[in-house]
Amino acid sequence: MNFPLILHIETSTQVCSVALSNGTECIFSKFTNEEGMNHAKLLNGFIAEAMNVLNNDFHSLNAVAVSSGPGSYTGLRIGVSTAKGLCYGLNIPLISVGTLDIMAVAALNSINEKDALLCPMLDARRMEVYAAIYNTDLEVVRPVAADIVDNSTYKEILDQNSVYFFGNGMNKCKPLLQQHAHAYFIDDVFPLAENMVPLALKAYQQKQFVDTAYFEPFYLKEFQTTTTRKKMF
């Protein structure tokens, strides 16, 4: 096989997915989209299936790529810890790929306008989303941020461009955004491991690796726990 052989892990949302690539070709891909975030139970099985393609020769891998966020705190921790463990054990580099970058790759085939902009959205809470804006060359026009969506949030950019919105944060924003003539919507776009392939390959070729020992997911916000207060009578 040609090099590099890269294992891709994506666990940032309710979708759990694994892919294996040989250069530019995706030679294995599997995902599940289930409620309940069963990533801890599913991930190792998916990886085992991927490695069957290589006759379980883990040492043939040249790198592991992992979705770095933003996204689910629990999902990201599972994916990153698994990827780091593999890289440690195999002494191979770790590649970090942004979740919204992955979604932009996934949506690109649905867009025919060269001058359009892409806006992947991940649900945060209430009327808040994690979002970024890209052009059709996948260059970042506006980096990832936590946006509180109202009628004016994307008005300036929508006044000048066609913008395609997608991701699991899109639906709650759609009633506000669809009032604008330049707003378009793409359904069923998820961050999948197979869409990491071109991004991870580019990073590998440019030797853009992260420090396996110190790498942490990009949560964008600190993890928040909920405590239940006892009622006072």
Q: Are strands 117-123 and 5-10 parallel, antiparallel or unpaired?
A: unpaired
The b-or-e profile of 150-160 (16+ CB within 10 A means b, else e) is eeebbeeebee
What average pLDDT is seen over the chain?
Answer: 92
Residue range 189-217, pLDDT digits in tens: 999 999 999 999 999 999 999 999 999 99
CA distances to 15, 145, 154, 159, 213 from 132, rounded to whole Å, are 20, 6, 11, 17, 28
Residue range 60-117, pLDDT digits in tens: 999 999 999 999 999 999 999 999 999 999 999 999 999 999 999 999 989 999 999 9
Residue 35: band (very low, low, confident or very high) from pLDDT cuts 50, 70, 90 = low
- Looking up residue 148, the CATH number of its domain turns out to be 3.30.420.40
From 190, 186, 223, 204, select the one nearest 97 (Cα to Cα): 204
One domain, residues 199 and 161: no
Residue 148 covered by a domain: yes
Rounded to whole angstroms, the Cα distance separating 147 from 71 reads 14
Domain residue limits at 173: 111-186
One domain, residues 12 and 44: yes
pTM of the model: 0.91
Residue 19, classed as helix, strand or coil, is strand
One domain, residues 54 and 24: yes
State the pLDDT at residue 230. 36
